[in-house]
Amino acid sequence: MSGRDERPGEGPGTTDPRGVGPGVERQLGVGPAGAEPATVRADEAGRRPTGGDPVRHPSPLLDDPVLEGRAITRDYHVGGGLFRGAKVVQAVRGVDFAVPRGKTLAIVGESGCGKSTLARIITLIDPPTSGTLLIEGKPVEITGRRPSRELRSRVQIVFQNPHGSLNPRQKVGHVLMEPLELNTDLPAAERRDRARAMLEKVGLLPEHFDRYPHMFSGGQRQRIAIARALMVNPSILVLDEPVSALDLSVQAQVLNLLADLQKEFGLTYVFISHDLSVVRHIADEVMVMLRGEVVERGSREAVFADPRHDYTRTLFAATPVTSLQSIRARVERKASRRAASEGRFHAS
């Protein structure tokens, strides 16, 4: 295993990992600057000596964070068969982040870099191994008792695959009312009213209340999942690849919906994606992860205009400019058409 413990881009015999990058990285102290292949993975044990400091673009947004993580780590202990010892996978290693109210932090990186692990930590599904998570300024107690019902309802999550997250035997109305049953003492009539209202907010129709999830398209199912997440009135929504399973045109519709809901409810988003064209559309802040660590962060404008870490550049190089432009154009067309008609929209 030792042979795979090299720093990225630092081949055997490379004495100065920064010596191979363009001058700008050297001046900024960004390292390591060797070429990072897009498909690079954590080694089997998920371990690697830590790289240099992450690239940090100036950001005007970071006052008054509604969500904050300080030095968050998460180790998984795996394996441990008859002839092998258990291994430790360091899925997240010392990640810091802060998201101001009403804004969107996008977390980008290839499969296996720790995005979903971080999502589960933020949503209080899974505790970090170490570090501090602060929700609305208050540190979350990670040891001991389970977080309170009230705290858990502050942060909700939407997953990539709405097939998996919606119970096929529950009618949509029940899917939406259930979080209220579990988390509030509201009477049934009130639960029903709120569910119907939310259905409309996400662009579905009153008659959808009594239908089953399988009767909907992928985009509509994702709308249902979003509606369910919003039922308990969270302030933070974690979206883990929420549009990755959808067709491009439907992606644009769901992204527009998310933007509208964010504005209406003042929601703070953590938007996880491996797709930069989507991130470009939705993010205020961008955080690029590689093997459990943040390698670059900053405002969307700064990171997209001037990606500095080699890994970020590799990600950008893998995203065709045309797809960035076309998704943006499509999204803008839809938005203006929508604004013009001002009607309810339920096309996805």
Residues interacting with ligand ADP, by CB under 6 A?
Answer: 42, 46, 76, 78, 89, 91, 109, 111-117
Q: With respect to Mg ion, which residue has the nearer C-beta, 159 or 216?
A: 159
| Burial category of 55 from C-beta neighbours within 10 Å (exposed 0-12, middle 13-18, buried 19 and up) | buried
CA distance to 40, 81, 212, per residue, from 287 (Å): 18, 36, 37
The residue within the footprint of Mg ion, chosen from 116, 220, 256, 277 (CB under 5 A), is 116
Name the minimum Å distance from CB 306 to ligand ADP.
Answer: 24
Residue 69 binds which of ligand ADP, Mg ion, none (CB < 5-8 A, kind-dependent)? none
- Which one, 52 or 112, has the nearer CB to Mg ion? 112
Indicate the residue among 209 and 311 with the shorter CB distance to Mg ion.
Answer: 311
Binding at 46: pick from ligand ADP, Mg ion, none (beta carbon under 5-8 Å per type): ligand ADP
**Distance in Å, CB of 240 to Mg ion, minimum:** 6
DSSP state of 188: H
Tell me the closest approach of the beta carbon of residue 99 to ligand ADP, in angstroms: 18
The residue among 96 and 260 lying less far from ligand ADP, judged by its C-beta, is 96
Residue 219 contacts which entry, Mg ion, ligand ADP, none (Cβ below 5-8 A, type-dependent): none
Asked if 268 touches Mg ion (CB under 5 A), the answer is: no
- Least Å distance between CB 109 and Mg ion? 9
Find the residue with minimal CB distance to Mg ion.
116
**E strands, 50-102, in order:** 55-56, 65-79, 86-100
C-beta closer to ligand ADP: residue 158 or 195: 158
Between 23 and 164, CB nearer to Mg ion: 164
Smallest gap from Cβ 288 to Mg ion, in A, equals 15
> Which CA distances in Å does 41 have to 112, 132, 291, 296?
7, 26, 7, 18
What token pair was written down for 13? 């015999």
Of 126 and 260, nearer to ligand ADP (C-beta) is 126
Number of DSSP helices (H) and strands (E) in the chain, helices first:
12, 11
Q: Are 213 and 224 in contact (CB under 8 A)?
A: yes
Q: Which amino acid is at 251?
A: Q
Report DSSP letters for 127-148, one per residue: --SEEEEEETTEEPP-SSSPPP
Could you tell me the smallest distance in angstroms from the CB atom of residue 26 to ligand ADP?
Answer: 29
The single-letter code of the amino acid at 302 is A
Burial class (CB in 10 A: 0-12, 13-18, 19+), 64: exposed
Question: Which of Mg ion, ligand ADP, none lies near 282, with the C-beta cut-off 5 to 8 A by kind?
Answer: none
Token pair listed for 190: 């009130």
* Cα angle: 105, vertex 111, 114; to 5 degrees: 55
d(CA 35, CA 241) in angstroms, rounded, equals: 27
Least Å from the CB of residue 292 to ligand ADP: 7
Interface residue list for Mg ion (CB under 5 A): 115-116
